[in-house]
Structure 1
Amino acid sequence: MALDSDDKLRELQPLRAKSNGPHESQVFDAEAEAALAGAQAAIAYPTAQFATNLWICLDNLEVAIRLLSPSTGSSQEIFESFRTLAAAWPLRKRLPHTKSGSIQIRWVPGHAKIPENEAADLAAKEGAASIPPAPHKSSYASLKRYAKTQSLSAAQSQWEKVAPQSYQDLEITTSPKRPGELQLNRLDLGHVIAARTGHGDFADYHERFNHDDAYLLCRCGARKAPLHFFFCHIAKRRAPRPPGPPSEVISFLLGTAKGAQKLATWLAETHFFEDICPRQPLLST
């Protein structure tokens, strides 16, 4: 931040000002708050009466754009206060020959070894390490982020309470993003979900719901089960399964998006559900 006279910048020591704004804030809020505090300090600076313009340099482009423009979202009060201060700058106490001038905003690249910007960053770090005022307020951006974090945490806590045991065994968690398994086609996705839940073309499932017309056996002679695809000796002869201990490989195949994709590829190579373990026995020709 610098003051100029006759449109020529004077070299000044960085103006430091304590901020009484929200402690619980994001970088965006802190930058806006610092600009306001700096401008307030500059307008009270003894040499302000000799200056024409007040130059504020920021390495946060969004804050630089919004400081003198109508703003919505986080830190509205800060931006409104800054615009009020900017309007008051030409009315400040100044010498008769000094022009009214204005507050000018300029963006400067961060981490470019600009001495003044490096000094400002150092002052910001010192401020961040200081004890916050009490009681402190939270900004809109920080509350929004806090609410998002809390909602994700609450969803995960609820999931841990209600998740089926099979999902807990596979260590399948909730996700705020679109699960990668949804990239599979519907048939392959159905096989993965059936193996996870135990709700599908399995002997125990058919017996529980008295499906008298269901076929309960695989071609290898074993009862159909959610994890039978992994142990079926006919399938193992057709295509090797992923190496590793069964407990780890099964958790990978059924518990991760990458594993589900590999399982879908393996099922297609072996024709497991079409030929080896079909819903109904294949007709002999």
Structure 2
Amino acid sequence: MSFFGLFGSFGFPIRRPYERDKPNKRNEPVWSISTAAACELKGVDPAAEPLALTHASPALPKIPVSRYPAASCCSANDFLQPQGEVLKHKDRYDTADLDENQFEPGSRRRVLKNLLGITSKREMDRMEGREQVRVLEELASLYDSDHRFTAADICRVHRLWLGRIYPWAGKYRQVNVKKDSFSFAAAAQIPKLMAEFEDGPLKRHTPCRSASTELLSAALAEVHTELVLIHPFREGNGRVARILAVLMGLQAGLPALYFDNLSGRKRVEYFAAVQAGVDRNYGPMANLFNAVIERTLQIHGK
């Protein structure tokens, strides 16, 4: 059983919840979690495997995404393709020499160029998963309940997690990426969008305080959705957003959030919730986080 599953299983076993037992530099208690019992890790983004919508699956409307330059419209399948495809014809500059725009030789364009020379997609998924477990322990000792998260913190999380794997970890992407017909924010706009994200959702909702489940769900939903839509990094955006949700939940006094595995209709509902956020409608995502919080409290007997 893992803490993280709704948006991609991290394989983090429920052995004990985060405990406020380690002093930081200011001698304040922060959270720690045991990684000794970590089980097999998948570490796969929800976008890593295409979802074939059946006739029984609800149709999703196309939603204009004018808030994000370079984006046009999207549907359910747009978020469900393998690693974000680099825009080859719409880039405003040549990115062929950038590491983040290259694939590892021998990987059949399935694995991005990396520091470890890994060519197998399965091996890379496991490596990213192991590093994710390691970094959660580290992050739990870095941030306390009074910390206000910033754009720099988001970059730090990404760098601490993937810095041993990719040379561009922790840096905003310099290539435009898309999934099928959905183009994420133009690379040139990311610094501006992240500054707005810091001054808006992060400033409003962190440090995340104890509140009703409804209010916590709304806060987590807005932060998660906006970060996923900006898509600041070449890879790992969804998982960074989930790590941030866990840290915010801990600030609010929750145990580490437990996310059920996404499949079938739940998977479609998640991507529909992401799309709804384009129009700043965070209600669908808040409903998903409400279920996550209730499930987490149930597991921990609260």
When normalised by structure 1's length, the TM-score is 0.22
- Name the structure with the higher helix share: 1
Which fold has the larger relative contact order, with Cα–Cα distance below 8 Å and residues 6 or more apart in sequence? 2
For the pair shown, the structure with the greater C-alpha radius of gyration is 1
